[in-house]
Amino acid sequence: MRSNTCLAGSRRAVRIDFFLTLTLGLVLLATAPAQAQTFTVLHAFTGVPDGKGPDSSLALDATGNLYGTTGQGGARYHGSLFEVSPGGEEKIVYSFVAAHGTAPNWLIRDADGALYGTTQGGGAYNRGAVFKLDNKSRETVLYSFAGGADGEWPNAVIHGADGNSYGTTEYGGSTGCDEQGCGTVFNLSPAGKKTTLYAFTGGTDGAIPVGGLVQDSAGNLYGVTGSGGNLSCNDGYGCGTVFAVDTAGSETVLHTFIGGDDGIDPVGLVRDRQGNFYGTTNEGGLFGNGTVFKLDTSGQEAVLYSFTGGSDGSLPTAGVVLDAAQNIYGTTEFGGAGSCDCGVVFVLDTSGKETVLHSFTWGADGALPVAGVSPDSAGNIYGTAILGGDLSCGFRGEGCGTVFKITP
In eight-state DSSP terms, residue 339 is T
Rounded CA separation 328/348 (Å)? 5
Could you tell me the residue ranges of all domains in the chain?
33-57+269-289+306-408
Span 236-255, pLDDT tens digits: 999 999 999 999 999 999 99
Average pLDDT of the segment spanning 87-111: 92
| C-alpha torsion sign, points 338, 352, 38, 358 | negative
Tell whether the model's pLDDT for residue 281 goes beyond 80. Answer: yes
Rounded CA separation 354/10 (Å)? 29
Least confident of 2-6, 99-103, 404-408: 2-6
Output the pLDDT for position 137: 85
Average pLDDT of the segment spanning 288-303: 96
Span 368-384, pLDDT tens digits: 999 999 999 999 999 99
Average pLDDT of the segment spanning 104-118: 91
Least confident of 21-30, 74-83, 328-337, 345-354: 21-30
Output the pLDDT for position 36: 62
User: What is the distance between the terminal CA atoms of the chain, rounded to a whole angstrom?
Assistant: 37
Angstrom CA distances, 75 to 50, 129, 206, stand at 7, 19, 39
Rounded CA separation 344/334 (Å)? 7
Span 197-242, pLDDT tens digits: 999 999 999 999 999 999 999 999 999 999 999 999 999 999 999 9
Output the pLDDT for position 106: 87
Angstrom CA distances, 390 to 334, 365, 398, stand at 20, 9, 8
Rounded CA separation 284/264 (Å)? 5
Number of H-type helices and E-type strands within the chain: 2, 29
Are residues 334 and 315 in contact, defined by beta-carbon separation less than 8 angstroms? yes
Tell whether the model's pLDDT for residue 326 goes beyond 50. Answer: yes
Span 331-354, pLDDT tens digits: 999 999 999 999 999 999 999 999
* pLDDT confidence bin for 5, thresholds 50/70/90: very low
Provide the mean pLDDT of the chain: 90
State which amino acid sits at residue 394.
Answer: G
Average pLDDT of the segment spanning 152-159: 95
Query: Beta-carbon neighbour count of residue 59 at 10 Å?
Result: 21
CB-based burial label for 107 (10 Å; 0-12, 13-18, 19+): buried
CB-based burial label for 84 (10 Å; 0-12, 13-18, 19+): buried
In eight-state DSSP terms, residue 297 is T
Angstrom CA distances, 204 to 255, 258, 286, 294, stand at 10, 12, 24, 21
User: What residues contact 194, with CB distance under 8 A and at least 6 apart?
Assistant: 143, 150, 186, 187, 188
Single pTM value for the model: 0.91
Output the pLDDT for position 179: 87
Tell whether the model's pLDDT for residue 287 goes beyond 90. Answer: yes
Rounded CA separation 65/165 (Å)? 24
Tell whether the model's pLDDT for residue 367 goes beyond 70. Answer: yes
* pLDDT confidence bin for 112, thresholds 50/70/90: confident
Rounded CA separation 384/19 (Å)? 18
Span 130-154, pLDDT tens digits: 999 998 888 999 999 999 999 999 9
